[in-house]
Amino acid sequence: MPFIPNTDADRVAMLAAIGAKSVEELFDDIPAARRFPKLGLPAGLSELEVLREVEAMAARNVAASSCAWFLGAGAYNHFIPALVPALASRGEFLTAYTPYQPEVSQGTLQAIFEYQSMACALLGVDAATASHYDGATALAEAVLMAYNAAPSRNGIMIPAALHPEYKEVINTYFEAFPDTIVEYEGEPAEAAQSIDAGTCCFVAAYPDFEGRIHDLSGVAAAVHEAGALFVVLADPVMLGLFKSPGELGADIVAAEGQALGNSMNFGGPFLGMLGATQKLVRKLPGRIVGQAADHDGRRGFVLTLSAREQHIRREKAVSNICSNQGLTMLQTTMYLEALGKHGLKAVAELCWNKAHYASGLIGKLPGFAVAPGTFFKEFVVKTPRPAEEMAGTLERRGIVPGLPLSRYYPARTHELLVCVTEMNTKDQIDLLAKSLAEVAT
């Protein structure tokens, strides 16, 4: 039964203070016949019985660790060093709340400061916030930043090959704004030539939803020449191997940080990473932690550049989002600290090599074809049979081959988005290719 600290004497004193004679008198306004309705609930279970029931339900789930897993499309199966959940589950981290009082939040503030420092280095930006609900909200906030930075412009250009759910979030954000969202096809460098005077930002996916890596060289120059801002959505693991968006001239960078030390968690909580150049730092939503020194020269950490009131006083806020995904942010910090830049590069190289090994095998199968172009971790496979049927058959064999694209694009019935990370072994990749061949006819 629950622990209730109030004694009989406490209850008598409280009732006397409000002028009531009994607890029952507090509920006089509720008709007596309605106070204790029969709910028809089954008899209670013991703790052991509840555990057995919950375990039975959990056993119905398919876990990435229990099968050959090649599903990505926004949630990725990456290795998480054991030290990450072990440290992050310590009580002082697990129960920490928002760090508005720096004198009692130095540990939390230092963790955020370290996260932001590494996020800046990874994304190639001058400042990063901590942090947002997921990559989709981070990208929507990035677009909102650009929109607010140019009040006279309301055009937003996004790639047609952006994750469909990210598109939905952007459209939801801008439902009440007089904006024009245009989806462009093909290479960003070509599409950037069509930016007009009404465009506030140009968004590029790096890589896009189908895993393709587009050459972003020169895109920033074309975007800036047209007076717009360049926004890039990046895969942070890929940045261990490729140039950062900041190096490519991006003004604002968003990313999904789930792959950096956070499990897939049935789709959340994830980690929205967001950073920008120095000129846009005061437009960043969320929190920024700075390093300071007291009058004795001792190092300390404080919230800086945006006050709490900015988020409370809605008319002065750059956004109404200010929650810090503290635990997922902390796990990403620990992950990056544990791997270091060389470790992250090794992870990216494994993803690259294994994905290309898989695409090479599958591309040789009769009736199959791999989409052309440079890709990272994910690639599209054209299948001889409906991809959803093939995926269903393989899932019953303990192989999750990827995402049938008909989920988002009904007409693309014979295409499968396959994801390969460092977690996939050679035997699993060989099994995938063999099994695809077996169910192709």
Q: Give Cα 33 to chain centroid, integer Å.
A: 49
Confidence band for 5, pLDDT divided at 50, 70 and 90: confident
> 379 with 211: CB under 8 angstroms?
yes
> 240 with 315: CB under 8 angstroms?
no
For tokens 């050959």, what's the residue? Answer: 68
What pLDDT does residue 307 have?
Answer: 54
- Beta-carbon contacts of 302 under 8 Å, excluding residues fewer than 6 positions away, are 102, 109, 289, 290, 292
What pLDDT does residue 310 have?
Answer: 54
How many helices (DSSP H) and strands (DSSP E) are in the chain?
A: 14, 15
When pLDDT is averaged across residues 161-166 and rounded to a whole number, the result is 98
Using DSSP's 3-state secondary structure scheme, residue 57 falls into helix
- CATH code given to domain 83-335: 3.40.640.10
- Beta-carbon contacts of 148 under 8 Å, excluding residues fewer than 6 positions away, are 283, 318
For residue 324, pLDDT over 70 is answered with no
Q: For residue 396, with 0-12 CB atoms within 10 Å meaning exposed, 13-18 middle and 19 or more buried, which class applies?
A: exposed
Q: Give Cα 65 to chain centroid, integer Å.
A: 21
- Beta-carbon contacts of 330 under 8 Å, excluding residues fewer than 6 positions away, are 88, 93, 111, 115
pLDDT in tens, 279-317: 999 889 888 899 988 889 999 998 888 655 555 666 667
What pLDDT does residue 319 have?
Answer: 77
pLDDT in tens, 337-356: 999 999 999 999 999 999 99
Q: Whole-model pTM?
A: 0.88
> 239 with 122: CB under 8 angstroms?
yes
The closest of 370, 348, 345, 344 to 432, measured between CA atoms, is 370
**Domain 64-79+341-438, CATH class in plain words:** alpha beta
| Backbone torsions φ then ψ of 290, nearest 5 degrees | -115, 160
Q: CA 435 to CA 429: how far, in whole Å?
A: 10
Among the residues of 376-425, which ranges form H helices? 387-395
Q: CA 127 to CA 132: how far, in whole Å?
A: 15
What pLDDT does residue 321 have?
Answer: 73
The closest of 327, 321, 268, 288 to 132, measured between CA atoms, is 321
What pLDDT does residue 219 have?
Answer: 98
- Domain boundary assignment for the chain: 64-79+341-438, 83-335
User: Letter for the amino acid at 262?
Assistant: N
Confidence band for 441, pLDDT divided at 50, 70 and 90: confident
What pLDDT does residue 35 have?
Answer: 86
